Chains A and B, each alone.
Chain A
Amino acid sequence: MIDYDKLIARKCYDMKPSGIRRFFDLANAREGVISLGVGEPDFQTPWNVRQAAISSLERGKTKYTANAGMVELKTAIADKIRKDTGVSYEPSDIIVTVGGSEGIDIAIRALVDPGDEVLVVEPCFVCYAPIVSLSGGTPVALETCAEDEFKLTASQLKSKITDKTKMLILPFPNNPTGAVMDRKDLEEIAEVLDGTDIIVLTDEIYSALTYGGEHTSIIQIGDMAERTIYVNGFSKAYSMTGWRLGYVAAPTPLSKQMLKIHQYAIMCSPTVSQYAGIEAITSCDSDIAKMRTEYDQRRRWLVKALNDIGLSCFEPRGAFYVFPSIQSTGLSSEEFCERLLNEHDVAVVPGNAFGDCGEGFIRISYAYSLKHIMTAVERIAEFIKTV
């Protein structure tokens, strides 16, 4: 008998599976579950985008593209970044990736050496720390809290910087909290980083979904673009999760290195998705606006409804999540979610799946129809009466 466990690389073997996985299995084992647990839009990819993909297939555009992506797409991406932020990247400094996830992966792998420390704002999307560990780096949590509206503060950042700090991962608008960083907040962060050798990895996959104000990127602050790797993508903005299409933009010396990993590991992003991406980025502004309005209406309804039933939550201004506190129930995040699932058939995600400081919170997604959200909240309200 082969002892496979012994053969697995230690770094992989020691990596914990995502805490969300367990809930996925629990929820799937039951019938009649209604979920507020997903992290992807409920809208369809705009029809013209799907049409562009179909048309590319009909024309037989099914070969590899250039490693970094089609020039036409990279140019459109550079134009979009310039329009959104005022920062100009050469198309050659942009890499079209397999979702934002790959952008995160190649950025960390290109920068992090064994022994390096990487500051990770938590609660956050689940992939950063495991990739840092795979690279031999040490993830260092920057724990944000409800009192600060889950923003990263300058003093917090300062207190965790050491001479080993290589990178700061800045994921705003934030999954799972829905927090955003305003210009003033980012200016304070930039001031701390000024004069250091710390690179920022800014994951702005939810940038199109900011409510009641324009999204600001860290690359807009001073000369931060020089020390920033900018990750964004098509999944959330254009409702294109399954297309696996994202991009990363960075100063030339960094993008050159990331491209090496991308070309060996990936070759190029799916050609059909790239054609779809060109259509999305050049002609879907009105679709985004429509989706954003609808998310915003649900967000407002949900925040009020949760506060009304006794789950206090700060008003999230980005992404499509609310992150209410469940501390008033006296339950832990996991107990709350398991009981809600078992007793009332509603699936939400425990906050601690996104970092230890998420304990005492749950993540509720509003990437669902209002009708669906209303039914789920009714059930949550019933549950709260019983605890």
Chain B
Amino acid sequence: MDQLLTLLKENARLSTSELATMTGMTEAAVAAKIAAYENNGTIRGYQAIINEELADKNALTCFIEVKVTPKAKQGFDELANTIMGFDGVESVYLMSGSFDLAVTLSGTDYKEIALFVARRLSTLDGVVSTSTHFVLKRYKDRGVCMDTEIDERGLVAP
């Protein structure tokens, strides 16, 4: 992956000037490249990585495995498009293996998620079955540890 993308993926708040320093490019070149990535859709957005346990005590996340009957022409796309339009859906992946779509859903109470699965997801045309797994603890998210990592090295060494 382009060094610029790797750096932004790690820390999207690096300034153009910092990115230029770190990659040895000019600021103008960095700005142009980022603009190009944004325009062609390579960079889809910039978000903070939040420890939800601290931000909202009631936050709930679940992974839902969805088995689907693909449609003749569109395959899985139509159903995936429908699901990703629902509120609270954070991600929708098409998977290899024993199920088809992996849906990540966030909500604030158990009932809300139960209703989503029972009323909205299961009833969709083409959905064969669902299996819902609740997240009990987030250790690491998008490459970031939720607890402070402990540096086992001494403070000062030759």
| Residues of the B chain whose Cβ atoms lie less than 8 Å from the Cβ of A298 | 22
Contact A297 B23 (CB under 8 A): yes
Distance in Å from the Cβ of A23 to the closest Cβ of chain B? 5
Contact A38 B153 (CB under 8 A): yes
| Residues of the A chain whose Cβ atoms lie less than 8 Å from the Cβ of B22 | 297-298, 300-301
**B-side interface size class:** 10 to 19
Taking CB as reference atom, which chain A residue is nearest B7?
A297
Bound CA span A304–B22, Å:
9
Given A300-B22, A301-B22 in contact, is the A24-B151 Cβ separation under 8 Å?
no
**A-side interface size class:** 20 to 34
Given A42-B151, A371-B11 in contact, is the A27-B156 Cβ separation under 8 Å?
yes
**How many residue-residue contacts, CB under 8 A, span A and B?**
56
Interface string of B117-158 (1 = CB under 8 A from A): 000000000000000000000000000000000010111111
Contact B156 A370 (CB under 8 A): no
Taking CB as reference atom, which chain B residue is nearest A301?
B22
Interface string of A12-25 (1 = CB under 8 A from B): 00000010100110
Interface string of B1-25 (1 = CB under 8 A from A): 0010001001100000010011110
Given A297-B7, A370-B11 in contact, is the A37-B23 Cβ separation under 8 Å?
no
Interfacial residues of chain A within 6-56, with CB under 8 A of chain B in the complex: 18, 20, 23-24, 27-28, 33, 35, 37-40, 42
Asked if A125 CB lies within 8 Å of chain B CBs, one says yes
Contact B154 A38 (CB under 8 A): yes
| Residues of the B chain whose Cβ atoms lie less than 8 Å from the Cβ of A349 | 156
Interface string of A285-311 (1 = CB under 8 A from B): 000000001000110110010000000
Residues of A whose CB lies within 8 Å of any CB of B are 18, 20, 23-24, 27-28, 33, 35, 37-40, 42, 125-127, 175, 293, 297-298, 300-301, 304, 347, 349, 353, 370-371
